[in-house]
Structure 1
Amino acid sequence: MRCETASLLVFALASVVAVNSPCPPGFVLYKKSCYWFSSTMANFPEARSFCQYLGSHLAKVTSKDEDDFVRGYASSHGRAANYYLGATDLNTEGTWLWEGQQPMIYSHWSPGQPDNGGGLEHCLDIKRRYENYLWNDENCTMYNANFICEKEL
């Protein structure tokens, strides 16, 4: 009986939290955006499409504060080996732009990155092995990773 009561209480509390959140189900609120940390893997174009399907875009990390949140949440809750974020240098090698052609002002590259991996790495991901999710350039189509979607409020 106690387990049933506890289960009902947990379900009721989860329902209240979900109703009060301005974010869609499965998204996490941080400041003025909602973030979704995927549990599935995809290449960069597939990840971008999936985020668009959810009414969002691949995450744009534009400040140290936001970077600390994304890295911290990935470390404590997501725990995937790596996640795509929404920047590429596909238009001009070495010029990293967020989706929507927004210039990258803030960055947190792992030492030695971006390295362009033989001319094949043009999409941004974060890797757990690089000092707890520092930034890395990766192949956009031949590589599968988890990904982070963002939806501004």
Structure 2
Amino acid sequence: MHSSSLYFFLLVGISAVLAAPAEETAAQPKCPPSSIETHLLSNGKKYFFHVDWSNFDKAKNFCQRNNGRLPILDTREDLDVVHAKAGKISGVAWWVDASDEGREPGQYRWANGKELPLNSSLWFKQAKQPNSFGPGKRSCVTFSTWYGNLLWDESCGKSLFVVCQANDGC
């Protein structure tokens, strides 16, 4: 009788283990479609470049629809490597994910909430940047491959080219 009880408990235990849900694997990131060429740059991040004129909102939407986001280029290294690649594609201006939207004019923030102060060394000071902000204006941040590899501010409604950063893990 003792051995049949042990057998019963073993059977119940094994059944419980077999019936338990399998451990969930880490969710795979949503990556850009295979029709979009991505570039792994020396900063270890992947980007894709859309050579089509878009305002800031359309640029953000394009990146999101293609499983990416406008890049946050808040370090000199990130700005330099993306600028170098963009310069090989086309000599125009490209949107990045910073603006003064929803704040006082000229109070720029990156999409991650980090401040982009007016005295940042990332601004193109030789061209008196930033200079497009003011009361009633919505100002967003860009970089130009024509004039220096630094940041500019522009009206968010202006049409520029789009660079997107692929999701981490792509």
Counterpart selection for 2:143 from 104, 122, 126: 126
1-structure distance, mates of 2:75, 2:133 = 26
Question: Residue 33 of structure 1: CA displacement?
Answer: 2.0
Provide Cα deviations, 1:23-54, integer angstroms capped at 9, x if missing partner.
74411112442111111110000000000001
Instruction: Count residues with an aligned counterpart.
Output: 128
Which residue of structure 1 lines up, in the alignment, with residue 131 of structure 2? 115
What one-letter code is carried by the residue in structure 2 that aligns with 1:116?
Answer: S
Unaligned runs of 5+ in 2: 1-30
Q: Which amino acid in the other structure matches residue 86 of structure 2?
A: A
The yes-or-no answer on 1:97 pairing with 2:109 is yes
Q: CA, structure 1 residues 59+107, in 2 after alignment: closer, same or farther (shift >3 Å)?
A: farther
* 1:60 match: 72
In the aligned structure 1, how far is the partner of 2:70 from the partner of 2:121?
A: 16
- Find the counterpart in structure 1 of residue 58 from structure 2: 46
**Which residue number in structure 2 is paired with residue 144 of structure 1?**
159
The root-mean-square deviation of aligned C-alpha atoms, in Å, is 2.1
TM-aligned CA distance change 1:82 to 1:107, over 3 Å: same
TM superposition score normalised by structure 1? 0.73
How far apart in 2 are the matches of 1:149 and 1:107?
A: 23
Higher helix share: 1
> Are the equivalent residues in 1 in contact too, given 2:98–2:109 (CA < 8 A)?
yes
Shift in Å, 1:126 = 1.0
CA contact (8 A) 1:29 1:35 kept: yes
Q: What amino acid maps onto 1:28 in structure 2?
A: H
- Residue aligned with 1:137, SS: strand
Amino acid paired to 2:162: F
Is the radius of gyration larger for structure 1 or structure 2? 2
Cα distance in 2 for partners of 1:55, 1:35 equals 11
| Letter of the 1:126 counterpart | F
| Overall identity of the aligned pairs, in % | 24
Gaps of 5+ in 1: 1-22
Q: Which amino acid aligns with 1:33?
A: K
